[in-house]
Structure 1
């Protein structure tokens, strides 16, 4: 009975996603069979959290599977359709912990994207604050505000002592204004009354709108052995973790994904090893006129453009949604932000764990000593990535049917509202243990021959029938800037 109930839970979350995007009256109807062909398997994989992480993650992946069926039915002509898609709740729970299980096997190397100073600290007023130090400039900003000199092997003790001299909200404000990233842990009640939370009650989970009219534009001819996103060209201007997850998902279903980043911008290599599967990667510096022109040349053939800069940050380079719709009629412009595009925090820097802190989610996970904790998975990042891919595919289908250029907007904070609305478990979770690598060995793959050597990573949680439509990567993971900035 419990297994059946958890499947029903995932199915309901899935239906909510589908109804939300179609309620915007932008998309042409999708055959009802597409939703009926998505099935959820396995009992919910219990992680040590009161949130239904497995069911929610499976629902987001199910939405992606739904969109793939929808676009394939438009593209396939006389070729066979997708009979069904099965999403493993157990696999989905591990998929949203993917970076925890990714490592370089040969030569042996563990990957940890977390800086030793990142994490939760108690402030002078007894409140807690999270410092996000995974990027060196964010680490430097936080330490400068705290008056701590950064030296090799700097320990958390000195940082803790400095944090205890200030109130949490004061520190959040000072670090944010200095260009860093920090978040005071709020209660759910405090977040409910916050103006940014009120701004998040209006937009749908995935917002889609038409930018301008164009003629219908198909995505290349299909051919024997083609996959749902075969020949779809995706330009990836994202960084950890939601954006790269979205483009990795698109790559796993046949899209050509070119990741573009500046050689002058820091990236977290430990995250790239996991998220660069299926992609090529090139350097372009938008402050260089020639590189910016090269970027605009690439855009002329781009089907889906995915970016995770703060709202408005790309406008100065002529890369806004409206500008790209003029450069490339029929483009699908996907934006992933921390707090959305409206409200007082629309331009605020943010990451999954910071959103967990401000939203009351970390407070609700408090242990028996009333210390806040993060969820045992970065579901805001991963689910937002899957939802962004889902919206992009449906927008591409719409372009093929009736034409148009489209924007798709997803934010971690809006995804957080979706997770919060799912509620908390009404049973004791204290005895539930975090799954070890041994516990999930059957869900892991090893890929040899990458630029890093042999890499262990999490297998796909979606299975398509026929098997030829199941996700797989045609390219191994790669280092940043390993390829030329050109389509292939």
Structure 2
């Protein structure tokens, strides 16, 4: 696994790999793909990035360590979450899932009412599994995919790896780095807030949804960042993901479709250190918050953009999610028998989230050493390409008991059992200052946060 981490670290930081300990084996999760290795490497990359920030503060980070079993649990955190001893509500809608069309399989991603409505409108059917099954069976996968995407929904037909590599979007993704981190403007060197935590005093404005972006914000919060998640009251949410990924963050509502909301966002950005966002490429630019505008508004800002299919190519603006990228890129097809064979976790989401956090912390370090305004870009499809490049493993799993990597805390949602923050950093053990807040429970202002010493 050391070589997997070394490759990711080179793409991320372009520096020699610091001392790190990776323990455990890859049998903790089933399947042929090396998800445990990817999990350990991406968590280690983020933890090492935090350690380098700590070193910059004059604190010895110690030797970073990651165990594959804890990494596997972190990548399945939403599945392991319990509220008052019970699993969280299913993230999937009533018609979400895989359907057999006339020439193959297609996935309909219907975990919000908007996605469900788009599918029903595209197929001309009511929202019942029976009606959707019948309609899809009479069409080709390409017909269904095109109709749903045109209607504003999210769908992906199951392609082979070979078909994806020959596809224009697959070719575009192949040209992109795993992590793109560029200096896009000038700014004085940052003075780090006095803190004993890597991201202490760093304000992170999070405009994200679903999983990859929220995971990145959760990681940054565990390393001491002041994270404010901004959503909108009218937009649908997936409760179990909100509960799981909101650790350590505050949550506020801002209506970006109004002039007043955009003015409020502008004020937040003007005092932010990081903007983490998962809007489709170009969406924020259309309302006046593109990279150039942001660099002018807040010199020294670190911006991180996460997309599904990358930032170039014909699908750059296409809606996408982990499960759809698995279908599109050949991951779900490679070992399929009677139905698509997905990964044992939403691994593209989780890995991209951890790598995004790593890129942000690397950029913060560079603003302190070199100055400048920085822009990071990552994608689920790019992470999928990385996973494909790692080779394959024995698919047989061993028994994995996660009890010792779980912890229970009181939360706004009830007694919450969650996966402890993964990645050991002796110099400043990562932890969340509070559990997830209910959506919109906080005001959309930057509150002063006094870094708490590690007990």
The answer to whether the superposition gives a TM-score over 0.5 is yes
Residue 289 of structure 1 deviates from its aligned partner by 2.0
Residue 214 of structure 1 deviates from its aligned partner by 1.2
| Aligned partners of 1:236 and 1:258 also within 8 Å | yes
For the residue of structure 1 that corresponds to 2:341, the secondary structure is coil
What is residue 280 of structure 2 aligned with on the other side?
310
Normalised by the size of structure 1, how large is the TM-score? Answer: 0.89
What is residue 92 of structure 2 aligned with on the other side?
114
What is residue 178 of structure 1 aligned with on the other side?
151
| Aligned partners of 1:82 and 1:465 also within 8 Å | yes
- Rounded to whole Å, the distance in 2 between the matches of 1:292 and 1:286 is 5
| Aligned partners of 1:446 and 1:456 also within 8 Å | yes
- Rounded to whole Å, the distance in 2 between the matches of 1:208 and 1:93 is 27
- Rounded to whole Å, the distance in 2 between the matches of 1:447 and 1:113 is 22
Residue 22 of structure 1 deviates from its aligned partner by 4.0
1:219-258 matches, within 5 Å, as 219-222=192-195, 226-258=196-228
- Rounded to whole Å, the distance in 2 between the matches of 1:72 and 1:203 is 30
Residue in structure 2 matching 1:93, options 55, 72, 80:
72
- Are 1:188 and 2:189 an aligned pair? no
Change (3 A) 1:434 1:186: farther
What is residue 6 of structure 1 aligned with on the other side?
none
Change (3 A) 1:83 1:109: closer
What is residue 138 of structure 1 aligned with on the other side?
115
**Which consecutive unaligned segments of at least 5 residues does structure 2 have?**
448-455
How many residue pairs are counted as aligned between the two chains?
Answer: 447
Instruction: Give CA-to-partner distance per residue, 1:83-107, whole Å, 9 cap, x none.
Output: 111111111112111111112116x
Instruction: Give CA-to-partner distance per residue, 1:59-82, whole Å, 9 cap, x none.
Output: 001111111121122223xxx311
1:29-428 matches, within 5 Å, as 32=16, 35-76=17-58, 80-105=59-84, 108=86, 110-125=88-103, 127-150=104-127, 154=128, 156-222=129-195, 226-367=196-337, 369=338, 371-425=339-393, 427=394
What is residue 4 of structure 1 aligned with on the other side?
none
- Rounded to whole Å, the distance in 1 between the matches of 2:230 and 2:344 is 30
**Which consecutive unaligned segments of at least 5 residues does structure 1 have?**
1-9, 24-28
Normalised by the size of structure 2, how large is the TM-score? Answer: 0.95
- Are 1:477 and 2:450 an aligned pair? no
For the residue of structure 2 that corresponds to 1:18, the secondary structure is helix
- Rounded to whole Å, the distance in 2 between the matches of 1:442 and 1:22 is 32
Residue 434 of structure 1 deviates from its aligned partner by 8.2
| Aligned partners of 2:102 and 2:140 also within 8 Å | yes
Instruction: Give CA-to-partner distance per residue, 1:226-260, whole Å, 9 cap, x none.
Output: 21111110000000110000000000010000000
